[in-house]
Structure 1
Amino acid sequence: MDGTAVRTRAGALPREPGVYQFLDDDGTVLYVGKAVELRDRVRSYADPRSARIRRMVERAASVDFAVTDTETQALLLEANLIKRHQPRYNVRLKDDKSYPLVQLTDHEFPRIEVTRDPNDSATVYGPYTDKGRVDVVVKALRETYGVRGCSDHKFSGRSRPCLDYDIGLCTAPCTGEIGESDYLADVESVTRFFEGETGVLADPLRRAMEEAADEENFERAANLRDRLEAVEAFHGGASAAVSGPSGGERTVDVLGVAVEGDRATVARLRSERGQLVDRERHVMDAPDADEAVASVLSAFVPQYYAERELPDALLLPERPDGTEVTDWLEREGVAVRIPGAGREATLVDLALKNARRSVGMRDEARDLRDALRGSFPDLGAVERIEGFDVSHAQGKAVVGSDVTFVGGSPEKADYRRKRLEDVNDDYANMYDLVHWRATRAVEGRDGEQARDDRPDPDLLLVDGGRGQLDAAREALADAGWDVPAVGLAKREERVVTPDGEQRWPSDAAHLHLLQRVRDEAHRFAVQYHQHVRDEVKTVLDDVPGVGPETRQRLLRRFGSVENVRSASHDDLTSVPGVGEKTAETLRKRL
């Protein structure tokens, strides 16, 4: 895949947490990652920042995904998918946004450590999403069981215990203060805690808290209470977010069905020993029946499991048509449940969410590309669109807007605005605005000193007709920025291209996409123009002694003209460039 293909695929992904997989032509999983927002995360692979990931993207032929309800679910599902598929390009159980793990080393006297880069030979627990809680728990374990946390260099060759022994964090096996068997028994208690036995740590903490309270040492009791809360939440909070059914079955499959027209998608989640470990989707021809979901289930279940191992339990959104399928499953020892509430119902909802994400997604960007291919034969996927508009009042307070849409949705972090020279010429103003953007794109900067991390748009849209488009294209040519550009005139909603005008149906989805971009660029420009006109030009610029630099200092210092108006005399004179006389003038004029 190239950058264009990645952006195209990313545009079809939801803005939800989940897990994504890059696959090659044979369907082999090359890379598994998690995301707080799938669309933005996958889109970042269009411009890989490392050679390893660049090679992975070049080998990839497709991108698959699964949505989750929380980032924690995504984290654990990612970990389990990596264990299952062993993707070549996942070098660790994390990506560039790593999560902490806890490791117990394989030394004669094991060391406990919070790390993001565990030793290959260590016993590793996690990953965890709350590092602060992990640190609290590890410290509490060390205070309770005295497991060392020091480096090998610090541990070896000691003649007396270190400070950790004096403050109760270590039992000092380095100097023989504790025997090997007793120390390993304490390590075993720590292991039992990380394997889920919360009471190993919670019980001694609770006893210590009660003793401190009895002794009226309330500060220590409160500290122990906080630790106890962190310990009791350590397993409970995480498992509630990611666990599968808890009915004792080893393997449980969860199915969700979404039907639209003659197409149905079945999403299958897999849970093993209470943990979600896998998911997949299957597309089927939907039957022409009133009970579409039930009919799809009746067709899918026997076809899918005919040559596969049956799970211990099957969770469904509703019962399949007839009784043949459920009778067969029950004869094979599979428990079939249609949960109405609780954790199992949540899993069915999650499967339904994954199924629905695959149907009914109208590809406006694809339609737009096809509609513009006559004017731009080499036009690829139109995933990223930047819209430009200019606003002014008879050549005063001239401003320009640059808004960005990705996958049909506004990307407000990439919005920019620009104060332009006061010229009552719409074409010249559009030239200046587009030339400003194009120059910074070519030079790789956004502002005078900051780097511009925005990728080039696939299409540039200007608010206006032939004159504005010609001015924009001239600016692009002068700056040397090769980006296709079109205009959209408001009066008749005509799309203006370099070779003519396009009159698309008023209900065309791709026209609606351009209208959304155009309208947002107009709104953003007008909003900034009003701010410039009302807050800056007509007030502070009319105050004698306040030039452009002093005006900027005042606005940076107080945030708005209203705050300047309410500032005291001393506050005003604290601004560089504002003396006693200017401060007094400001107070009188405002």
Structure 2
Amino acid sequence: MKKLDTSHIPNLPGVYLFKDKKEQILYIGKAKNLQKRVNQYFTPGSVWKQEMLLKADHVDFFVVENESESLYLESNLIKKHLPPFNNMLKGANAYAYIKLTKHPVPQVFITRKKINDGAIYIGPKHNTRELKKFLQYLRQIIQYRTCPLQQFNQKKLCSDYYFGLCQGRCAKPELGAAEYTNIIVNFFKGNTAPVEKEIKKLIDEAVLKQNFERAAKLRDIYFQIDQFTEKQTVEFAKNITGYLLQIRPIGQKYVYVLLNFYEGKLIDIIRHHFDQEDTTIESMLNAFQSEFGDFYQHEIWYTTTKYKRTQTESVQLQNLFNNFFESYIISQTMQGSGLTNDLLDTLKQRYEFPKLPYQIECLDISHLQGDQTSGGLSCLLAGVPEKKLYRKYKIKTVKNNDYLALQEVLIRRFQLGKKEKTDLHLPDIFILDGGKGQLGILEELAKEYPELKQLRSQVQFCALGKGEARSKSHIGYQSKKSDQTIAEKLYLRKNNKIQSFDLVYDEADRLLTKLRDEAHRFANFYRKQQAKIEFKTAEKKATKSNKNPDNKK
């Protein structure tokens, strides 16, 4: 069976496109893991796949934030391009949203339509049956309102209240609405930690009472939370119809990404690059309109100068562009364009690294309010994620102490204290997530492990953390108390002093922040794996104890 080169495709969620030599799209699909999904096409399968592969020349892809985005983008691209090997997704009814109405006590329900009515929409979600089941179980935990406004205004307790599915705030104004609204809205927007902790507590109680059916249902809710609460940024509530263009200088080239929106929905993407020699942004725009003007009939907006948008939309749009630029750079690097090498050289010059940062690693510690502490290590080789060098660490010695957990992982990662070290694979740059204080951990470790001093002459240790409020030209977090952006800083030791640098808003520094995000994702993924194992272990012990008559009194 024909095998195409897929080495450049990452293990991330997104949309993939099989194309022929003329760049005609043959098939469009979505995936939670692009690399794994695309490789499945090269194993013996159905006749249509074999026929499609005979015509295919290469695979292109778009990386998105999560599976929901890939689902929606796949649908729009299929409807736009009509690939010959796709079974068309029929109509908008293939998807559903969780809707939270704009009300002091929001109503929560499933809807097929998303309109600009001030409500909060979570989705789209494809598996409506699982979504309904999830919401049904979730009501037992956070008891949200489902009744329509007309019924709510009658101020009479209904059966949902007596069955423990609603708090009855329609008839109990003394309960107040602010706390309820914060819990409900924050949960569905992604702040799930308080509810996760409560569910874990209920699971433990159910296991102790040997109510394994309830424990299993609670477990299912716990592990579906991410799936049904994740943020989705491909679609905007505002009705945008037109094209958004962003151009970025990368190395010796200008790279552009063009997003085609129709009524707030992303329906098409085009990416390409030009050499910078004797080229200006203005001449690029003229060349772009000359090349694509007949095809694009709507206004072309240059995103730094036009299209007024809300602060939330600005952040969402920027994240969207970032993902598409990054996936394009990876794709072009694997095809020998050298874009990533230019970015690595930029990092070397900007931060005066002693050598080109070919291998960069980042470590993050994850826990759930002090419990289930774990470490995740991500890695870049030549600017491309190298999953074979990712590592996960179960913290064995401490609880609820990030500094001591970091110390433990550093000892294990660099095999400190071992006379014979095997397969060490020293990185050029090693990043600690957390800030300036994390670098102090190295000083403490060096007192106990003198070999660390020699190691620091071979590896440049850095830390990423938050800094002061900065302008939009810097990479940063959005402040919850203001419209300002909190710039991120890179800390590193030079001449026995810790120096700090503001990360700027470009592709080079974004390699570092994306790697940090990967470490965070990987650490969280492993922590949740450990939670599953702990639950199953507790369930088995309780079952065994129940069957042993000697334990019954």
Query: Which one has a bigger Cα radius of gyration?
Result: 1
Q: Larger strand proportion, structure 1 or 2?
A: 2
Per the normalisation by structure 2, the TM-score is 0.39
More relative contact order in 1 or in 2 (CA 8 Å, sep 6+)? Answer: 2
Per the normalisation by structure 1, the TM-score is 0.36
